[in-house]
Amino acid sequence: MGYQWVDCDRATVSGRYDRIAGLIPLFDRLFFLPRGMRRKAVANLGLKSGDRVLEIGCGTGNSFPYLREAVGASGRVFGVDISAGMLRKAARRRAANDWRNIELCEYDAAEYRAPTPLDGVLFSLSYNTMPHHRAVLRNAWDQLRPGGRLVIMDAKLPSGPAAKLLLPFSLWLMKRTMLGNPLIRPWQELAAVAGPVDMSECLFSSYYICGATKPWRNVAAAEAANDDSEIAAAHRIAAE
Ligand SMILES: C[S@@+](CC[C@H](N)C(=O)[O-])C[C@H]1O[C@@H](n2cnc3c(N)ncnc32)[C@H](O)[C@@H]1O
């Protein structure tokens, strides 16, 4: 039997998240998110102090503590989300922690442009909830500086016969809760845009973290882009 997912429009997605924003603290437990998963996903970005990182579909800011720790007080964290209800909670969390370098924006991630090139982009449990995920991915990849990393952390159907058993339940549950399409394969979409992808799985392959590094440009391309730090890096790499 073939199963299908019917995408919702963006207003339905934002309306759903506005309504469930208060329940988000329960969701990590309800969906058995493995302990340490967010920390691991952020570590995979390879950020350092002073870096600029974007979380796409940041929701209530569950990953902010790890992002903020990774870039320090001198770095910048951008959070974009389509749901005003989720962002209100993120803003409360930011105020309670006095995180002054976190900038929130209510926008569709397919059209959002960060104010500066990015050292890292994170999708944490958000990629599958975006009906136009490929456009969002291309837009994010485009804003990453060479050498920067893009990481997707999410749930997936386990491999093998278990997937067939779980698929009807998974479709039913996602339709009623997060609107996350379990039929897509984000790691393949990332590979199509970015080239080589690293991937790790846990909890019987039901959660994964995949990531890719944006390649450096060669000297001619860096000079055409007219970016001094890239030109210097391209010369250094060419000389190695
Ligand atoms: C399951 S929540 C994950 C929230 C958060 N990243 C976390 O780890 O807890 C998915 C989030 O993606 C957001 N989202 C869905 N479609 C979006 C879009 N097109 N642009 C921006 N955010 C979007 C939703 O509003 C929601 O806050």
Q: Looking at the predicted structure, is the pLDDT value of residue 167 above 70?
A: yes
Q: Which residue has the higher pLDDT, 36 or 234?
A: 36
CA of 128 to the centre of ligand 1 (A): 9
C-alpha span between 174 and 232 (Å, rounded) = 47
Report the residue among 56, 88, 129, 136 best suited for mutation to probe ligand 1: largest number of ligand atoms under 8 A from its CB.
129
Hunting for tokens 């982009």 — which residue is that?
121
Report whether residue 28 contacts ligand 1, using a CB cutoff of 6 Å.
Answer: no
CA distance 58 to 37: 15
Instruction: Quote the strand ranges of the chain, DSSP E.
Output: 52-56, 76-81, 102-106, 118-124, 144-155, 198-202, 207-213
pTM (2 d.p.): 0.92
Ligand 1 atom nearest residue 55's Cα: 6
State percent of the chain over pLDDT 90.
Answer: 75
Q: Is the CB of 81 under 6 A from ligand 1?
A: yes
Banded pLDDT at 233 (limits 50, 70, 90): confident
**Which numbered atom of ligand 1 lies nearest the CA of 126?**
10
Judge contact between 139 and 193, C-beta under 8 A.
Answer: no
Least confident of 63-72, 168-177, 213-222: 213-222
- Provide the b/e sequence for 63-91 (b: ≥16 CB within 10 Å): bbebbbebbeeebbbbbbbbbebbbebbe
pLDDT band of 1, cuts 50, 70, 90: low
pLDDT at 162 over 90: no
The residue type found at 88 is R
Atom of ligand 1 nearest to the CA of 130: 16
Calculate ∠ Cα 194-197-203, nearest 5°: 140
Report pLDDT digits (tens) over 110-148: 999 999 999 999 999 999 999 999 999 999 999 999 999
Q: Indicate if ligand 1 lies below 6 Å from the C-beta of 63.
A: yes
10 burial (CB, 10 Å; 0-12 / 13-18 / 19+) is middle
* Radius of gyration of the chain measured on its C-alpha atoms: 18
Q: What per-residue confidence (pLDDT) applies to 65?
A: 98
Query: Are the beta carbons of 121 and 140 closer than 8 angstroms?
Result: yes
Read off the pLDDT of residues 177-220 as tens digits, 9 standing for 90 and up: 989 999 999 999 999 999 999 999 999 889 999 999 999 877 78
User: Counting every residue, how long is the chain?
Assistant: 240
pLDDT at 105 over 90: yes
| Structure tokens given for 92 | 């409360």
Determine whether the shortest distance from the Cβ of 143 to ligand 1 is under 6 A.
no
Domain 10-239: give its CATH superfamily.
Answer: Vaccinia Virus protein VP39 (3.40.50.150)
For 135, phi then psi, to 5°, come to: -65, -40
- For the chain, the average pLDDT equals 93
- With a CB cutoff of 8 Å and minimum separation 6, the contacts of 190 are 137, 150, 152, 197, 210, 211, 212
Q: Is the CB of 17 under 6 A from ligand 1?
A: yes
Distance between CA atoms of residues 123 and 141, nearest Å = 12
C-alpha 226/C-alpha 72 separation (Å) is 28
Mutate to test the pocket of ligand 1, among 23, 33, 81 (most ligand atoms within 8 A of CB): 81
The stretch 42-57 carries a mean pLDDT of 98
Ligand 1 atom nearest the C-alpha of 59 is: 27
Q: Helical H runs in 5-126? A: 10-20, 24-30, 37-44, 64-71, 84-97
Q: Is 127 in the pocket of ligand 1 (CB under 6 A)?
A: no
Closest CA to 117 of 16, 3, 230, 239: 230
Look at residue 207 in the predicted model and tell me its pLDDT.
Answer: 95
